[in-house]
Amino acid sequence: MKTYIAVLKKDIDIENLEKELKKKNIKPAAHYTSIGVVKLESEKPVYQKDFEEYFISVEEDKNIKIE
């Protein structure tokens, strides 16, 4: 399963977003309200263009280790 980080647009309906995510089998793993970010988990790729109403951007979390 891949993890994605999405930046939310202002004043979205979070309940509608959760319904849309559920339809596409995308699990909201965390919601960071203070910074307007959600963490998503999905077997399939998640694209910003599929959620233009809700997200400013979506990036795959690569878990890069800093040494």
Q: Which domains does the chain have, with CATH numbers?
A: 2-60 (3.30.70.80)
Model pLDDT for residues 22-43, shown as the tens digit of each residue: 999 999 999 999 999 999 999 9
Read off the pTM. 0.86
Q: What is the mean pLDDT of residues 1-16?
A: 94
Residue 67 pLDDT level (bands cut at 50, 70, 90): low
**Inter-residue long-range contacts of 18-23, CB under 8 Å, 24+ positions, other chains counted:** 20/51, 20/54
The tokens describing 58, both together, are 């979506």
Instruction: Name the one residue in this structure whose structure tokens are 């939310």.
Output: 8
